[in-house]
Structure 1
């Protein structure tokens, strides 16, 4: 089967690029003829305030990549659609409604203007059907896209139900498989060597991820415990610094704003007793698996798919979302004598192969 994945790959960074790249490798390993149709310019800078690209790949790049799509060139969207008519399956990787105009242009080039009236099957692979922090145009844009594809693939039943509000197209659900950065020779090993009395908040910092809740819980929790916050801030950095000062946490919180290169990730987890994910909302996330891959338990809220990958009291702790009190209680429970060591002993690295086999089977189902 000739398959075209439309989405980000190296030199773009982040989970979407990792997922697209690994999916291409997995499909090619199944014997399919795979091309990634990627971007030379994916978003305008004002819509994506973080660092968009990286200088060195964080995994094995996929060889068969075409980088011609440009958010500034609608003529290129149409050309791409005409070019993709030779494919058996086109997968549109949907990370944001901002991509929808380009995808509608591609669909127009394919011949799907009002409904999926094209011989080439088109699947919308939705990392999020709608954003966590929504704009008025998000819903109509996604409705316009999802009504023009043959099928929608989401990563949870909740997201599938949300897609069902927007389109009558068939919907499929597959658990997002692990697509973690490849460990390299010389990466730090996270061998247990006692309690470090340090927690880690890792990844993109946006309001829905609840860093403010964690800071308030830290102030009310075990006084000897510190926190490292490592990741890009999409706004709110000054407000975060002000909150840290207000709570008297200046000496206990280390801020490392900015994208964390893959080679620096193991060292961050090496210093931490646990990864904390205090999200107010979530869909699918790699961060639980990332923590477990580096040998640390995860303290997370019961939102989205986070709870699906944590066994409460075995390899982490689960708490209700949006509650400083519940998160404070979890920190106190985690740092009870012997608990960090016990929970660390329960952590097991994930085997990605069964997840990917099921994912590819669901994606390719007729």
Structure 2
């Protein structure tokens, strides 16, 4: 099958970039003829408050990649659609509603005969703006089908479109494996918060839980702080945690990740809401247990009481109790001993089957039920 994947890749960074690139590699390895259509300029700077690109790729770039899309050139979106008409399947990697105008123009250039799947990392953002619903509705009603990563996201997509929807667990697409940093035996009395810091990820909940928990437990919070660190630093001072919390603002390159995990007893994911996350798989790759909230895919990824602990979202007292349970005598080592790296092969096989087998509502691509969807 001739498949075109449209989405971000190197020199852009982050989980969505790694997923898009790995998807292209996996489709090609499965015998498909694959091209990756990507961006030379993805977003205006004011829409992404951080460094957008990196100098060294995280993983192997996909060889058949074109970087001809630019937010500055809508005419290029149309030309991309015309180029991709020869594909049997076009996959649009949807990470944010900001992509919708470009994708709508690409769809117009494609015409109605090409099968198009919207691969939605998030159907709607965790922190929504007034334009998110109308933009995503406009996109999802004009594709052949939609792939999402959790049943909850499937239900959300059904409120926006009558197109076929399929749910598949997001497979592991981790940064390239570096030599793991040697971790000393025993407890470190240190927890790790890792990744982009945004309100829905609950770092403030974790700080309040830490203040109420064992007084000798420390925390490293590493990642890009959207909106800066001022509010977090003020909360740390208010809670009297100045000597217990280390902030490491900025994107963490893949070669620095092993040492972060080696220095921590557990990764903490105090999310208020979630869809799919690679951070559990990343922790397990480094032999680190996980403390997380019961949201998104975490309850399926974490074996509560076996290789991690689960608690209630948005509830500092519940998270404090989980931290206290974690640091019961012998528990950190017992949980760590049960951690196993995930095998991504079966995950990817199921994922590709769901993606390539997603059939349109009718026999003629996106023509079917178009009038009913608009």
TM-score range, shorter chain: over 0.9
CA contact (8 A) 2:149 2:170 kept: yes
Question: What TM-score comes out, normalization by structure 1 length?
Answer: 0.97
Whether 1:228 aligns to 2:206 is: no
Q: 1:28 maps to what in 2? A: 28
Whether 1:46 aligns to 2:46 is: yes
CA contact (8 A) 2:180 2:286 kept: no
Whether 1:323 aligns to 2:315 is: yes
Alignment match of 2:288 (pick from 288, 296, 313): 296
Number of residue pairs the alignment of both structures matches: 358
Superposed CA RMSD in Å reads: 0.8
For residues 282-319 of structure 1, give each alpha carbon's deviation from its aligned partner in whole angstroms, at most 9, with x where no partner exists.
00000111111110100000001111100000000000
CA contact (8 A) 1:190 1:295 kept: no
CA contact (8 A) 2:183 2:263 kept: no
Gaps in structure 1 of 5+ consecutive residues: 112-117
How big is the shift at 1:188? 3.1
Q: Distance in 2 between matches of 1:160 and 1:352?
A: 22
Q: Distance in 2 between matches of 1:236 and 1:172?
A: 37
- Of structures 1 and 2, the one scoring higher in RCO (CA 8 A, sep 6+) is 2
CA contact (8 A) 1:199 1:273 kept: yes
Gaps in structure 2 of 5+ consecutive residues: 360-374
Q: Distance in 1 between matches of 2:85 and 2:238?
A: 58
Q: Distance in 2 between matches of 1:260 and 1:307?
A: 26
Q: Distance in 2 between matches of 1:197 and 1:64?
A: 46
Question: What TM-score comes out, normalization by structure 2 length?
Answer: 0.95
Q: Distance in 2 between matches of 1:6 and 1:192?
A: 44
Q: 2:129 maps to what in 1? A: 135
The 3-state SS of whatever aligns with 2:166 is strand
CA contact (8 A) 2:50 2:224 kept: yes
Distance 1:352 1:192, change over 3 A: farther
Q: Distance in 2 between matches of 1:154 and 1:52?
A: 25
Whether 1:216 aligns to 2:205 is: no
Q: 1:114 maps to what in 2? A: none
Alignment match of 2:240 (pick from 238, 248, 263): 248
Whether 1:314 aligns to 2:306 is: yes
For residues 91-143 of structure 1, give each alpha carbon's deviation from its aligned partner in whole angstroms, at most 9, with x where no partner exists.
000000000000001001112xxxxxx22100000000000000000000000
How big is the shift at 1:189? 3.3
Q: 2:362 maps to what in 1? A: none
How big is the shift at 1:22? 0.6
Q: Distance in 2 between matches of 1:194 and 1:24?
A: 41
The 3-state SS of whatever aligns with 2:247 is strand
Q: 1:92 maps to what in 2? A: 92
For residues 48-102 of structure 1, give each alpha carbon's deviation from its aligned partner in whole angstroms, at most 9, with x where no partner exists.
1121111001111110100010111110000000111011000000000000000
Alignment match of 2:198 (pick from 203, 206, 216): 206
The 3-state SS of whatever aligns with 2:5 is strand
CA contact (8 A) 1:190 1:294 kept: no
Q: Distance in 2 between matches of 1:45 and 1:158?
A: 31
Whether 1:155 aligns to 2:149 is: yes
